[in-house]
C-alpha cells in the first residue's frame, strides 16, 4: 500500500490476498463495476480472481466467477471485447507440462520449454452478474500450438473496439482483430506483425503499444532474444518493421530484451523506450536500456540522462511505468530474476508540463479501458488510449499520462468512450491529475 510519502507498506495479510500458486503476473480492473479495482492473478497452477470489497480487503471469488483456470498462465489482460460495459478477461498461457518428456536416463536434466507443446489461451466473457463463461472458441480465439509470453490489449485500427496482440515464444505472434461484436480474427501474418524483418519467429517476450513516430497511428515495439521489432503502422493499415532504420536494432541487438515499456521520461511529448534486459540461461547480469525518441521515431541511447542505475548490471525481466509519487514524471518498476524488484523514481527535468487522466466509465466499463483520447497542446496532437497496461509479467499505472513539453495547457482533449459517447474538454491547465467521468446520456 502506497503511504503517500514515497514509501510502501506490506498489507498482503490484511488485504487477504494470499497466493495459491507460482504467480506469474497480475491484471487489475473493475470487473463488477462497483467502483473498486479488482485483481486477477495469473499462476503456474490455478489462477485466482480477488474481488475488492472496498474496505481495503479482497475476497477470493475464483470459483464463484468461474475463472479458475489451471495451467501455465503467464500473462492476463482485462478488456471490454463486446463493449457491453463489462470487462472480459484474456489469459495468455505458455506450455503444457508433460512429465513423460523428462529424460528417464537423466532425471535431473529437464529439457527446454520448446520440447513441450503450447497451451491454448483462454478468453472469459463477463456475463455481468459476477460470473464468466469460457468463450475462447465462440470468440474465435482458440489457437493451439502457440506458447504465449505476454498479451497486450489496444485498439490497433482506432475503430472503437479493443484488439489483442499476443507475443509468442518461437512461434508466430498473433494480432487478433476485433470485428466489433467481440469476435476476433488473427491478422498478424497479413498485416506484417507475425514475424521479424527476416521472416523468423524468434522468442518474443513483450509488446509495447503507442504512437512512436508522431503520425497518430498506433505502433508496436517487440522485445526478443537479440534485436526485436519496431512495427510502424502505415497509411494502408499494414505494418513495416523499422527496427534498424529507427536506430533500435543496433542499440538492442547484443541484449536479450524481456520487459519493454514506453515511457515519456522527459515529458517532451514523445514516447521513449525502456528495456529490462537479462540473460536467458544464467543469473549473470546485463545493462538495461533507456532509449530516447527524437520525436520522429529515431532513437538514441539516453543512459547518461537516466542516472547511475543504467551503469548497473541486473538480470531484468518485467518492467512497467507508474507515477507513484504523483509528480507527473513517470517512474519505473522492474522485476529481477532471483533478486529483489527495483523501483526507480524519476528525478528528471521538471520544466516540462504534463497531464494524468484518470478515467471513470458510467455506461462504459468503470475502469474506462478502451477509451480513445486525442490531446492538442500548443498545436501538437497526441493520440493515446486508456488500456489495461500489461506486458511481460507486469501491469503499469492505468492512468493515461501525456507529456506536454513547454505547453502550459491543453487546448482540447477529446475522449471517445467505448460506450459510444464523445466528450470534449477545453483549456485544461497542465500539471494536474484530472479525474474524468463519462457523461451520462
pLDDT of residue 108: 64
The answer to the question of residue 4 being in a domain is: no
Which residues partner with 42 through β-bridges?
Answer: 25
What's the pLDDT tens digit per position in 68-126?
A: 999 999 999 999 999 999 999 999 999 988 777 766 656 666 778 888 889 999 999 99
Q: Give the model's pLDDT for residue 121.
A: 98
Question: Does 3 map to a domain?
Answer: no
Q: What is the pLDDT of residue 113?
A: 82
Give the model confidence (pLDDT) of 222-278 as tens digits: 999 889 999 999 999 999 999 999 999 999 999 999 999 999 999 999 999 999 999
For range 374-379, the mean pLDDT: 98
Residue 285: per-residue pLDDT: 94
* Average pLDDT in the chain: 95
d(CA 228, CA 64): 41
In a domain, 334, yes or no: yes
Residue 7 lies inside a defined structural domain of this protein:
no
Average pLDDT over every residue of 117-138: 98
> What pLDDT, on the 0 to 100 scale, is given for residue 111?
77
Transcribe 354-388 into DSSP letters: EEEEEEE-SSS-TT-TT-EEEEEETTEEEEEE---
Query: Is residue 6 assigned to a domain?
Result: no
User: Which residue spans within 211-330 are E strands per DSSP?
Assistant: 219-224, 226-233, 239-241, 257-263, 272-277, 286-287, 289-293, 299-301, 313-314, 316-322
CATH code, 56: 2.130.10.10
Looking up cell 499494414 gives 238
Residue 5 lies in a domain: no
User: Count of domains in the chain?
Assistant: 1
**Residue 209 · residue 152 · CB < 8 Å:** yes
The average pLDDT across 126-149 equals 97
Range of the domain at 33: 16-437
Amino acid at each position: 500500500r502506497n503511504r503517500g510519502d514515497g514509501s510502501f507498506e506490506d498489507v498482503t495479510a490484511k488485504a487477504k490476498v494470499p497466493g495459491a500458486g507460482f504467480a506469474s503476473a497480475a491484471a487489475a480492473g473493475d470487473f463488477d463495476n462497483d467502483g473498486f479495482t479488482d485483481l486477477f492473478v495469473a499462476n503456474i497452477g490455478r489462477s485466482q480472481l480477488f474481488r475488492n470489497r472496498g474496505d481495503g480487503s479482497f475476497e477470493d471469488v475464483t470459483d464463484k466467477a468461474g475463472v479458475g483456470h489451471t495451467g501455465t498462465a503467464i500473462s492476463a489482460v482485462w478488456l471490454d471485447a463486446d463493449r457491453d460495459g463489462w470487462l472480459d478477461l484474456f489469459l495468455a498461457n505458455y506450455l503444457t507440462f508433460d512429465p513423460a518428456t523428462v529424460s528417464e536416463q537423466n532425471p535431473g536434466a529437464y529439457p527446454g520449454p520448446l520440447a513441450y507443446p503450447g497451451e491454448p489461451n483462454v478468453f472469459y466473457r463477463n456475463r455481468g452478474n459476477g460470473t464468466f463463461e469460457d468463450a475462447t472458441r465462440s470468440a474465435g480465439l482458440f489457437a493451439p500450438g502457440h506458447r504465449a509470453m505476454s498479451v497486450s490489449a489496444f485498439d490497433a485500427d482506432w475503430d472503437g473496439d479493443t484488439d489483442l496482440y499476443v507475443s509468442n515464444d518461437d512461434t508466430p505472434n498473433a494480432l487478433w482483430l476485433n470485428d466489433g461484436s467481440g469476435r476476433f480474427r488473427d491478422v498478424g501474418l497479413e498485416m506484417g506483425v507475425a514475424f521479424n524483418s527476416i521472416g523468423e519467429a524468434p522468442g518474443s517476450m513483450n509488446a509495447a503499444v503507442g504512437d512512436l513516430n508522431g503520425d497518430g497511428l498506433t505502433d508496436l515495439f517487440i522485445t526478443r532474444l537479440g534485436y526485436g521489432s519496431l512495427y510502424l503502422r502505415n497509411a494502408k493499415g499494414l505494418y513495416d518493421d523499422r527496427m534498424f532504420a529507427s536506430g533500435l536494432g543496433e542499440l538492442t541487438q547484443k541484449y536479450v530484451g524481456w520487459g519493454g515499456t514506453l515511457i515519456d521520461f522527459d515529458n517532451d511529448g514523445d514516447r521513449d523506450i525502456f528495456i529490462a534486459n537479462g540473460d536467458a540461461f544464467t543469473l549473470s547480469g546485463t545493462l538495461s536500456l533507456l532509449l530516447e525518441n527524437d520525436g520522429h521515431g529515431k532513437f538514441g541511447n539516453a543512459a547518461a540522462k537516466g542516472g547511475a542505475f543504467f551503469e548497473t548490471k541486473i538480470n531484468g525481466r518485467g518492467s512497467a511505468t507508474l507515477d507513484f509519487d504523483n509528480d507527473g514524471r513517470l517512474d519505473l518498476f522492474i522485476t529481477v530474476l532471483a533478486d529483489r524488484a527495483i523501483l526507480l523514481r524519476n528525478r528528471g527535468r521538471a520544466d516540462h508540463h504534463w497531464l494524468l487522466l484518470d478515467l471513470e466509465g458510467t455506461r462504459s466499463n468503470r475502469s474506462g479501458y478502451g477509451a480513445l483520447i486525442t490531446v492538442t497542446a500548443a498545436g501538437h496532437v497526441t493520440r493515446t488510449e486508456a488500456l489495461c497496461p500489461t506486458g511481460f509479467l507486469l501491469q503499469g499505472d492505468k492512468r493515461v499520462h501525456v507529456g506536454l513539453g513547454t505547453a502550459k495547457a491543453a487546448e482540447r482533449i477529446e475522449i471517445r468512450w467505448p460506450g459510444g459517447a464523445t466528450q470534449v474538454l477545453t483549456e485544461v491547465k497542465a500539471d494536474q491529475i484530472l479525474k474524468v467521468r463519462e457523461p451520462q446520456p
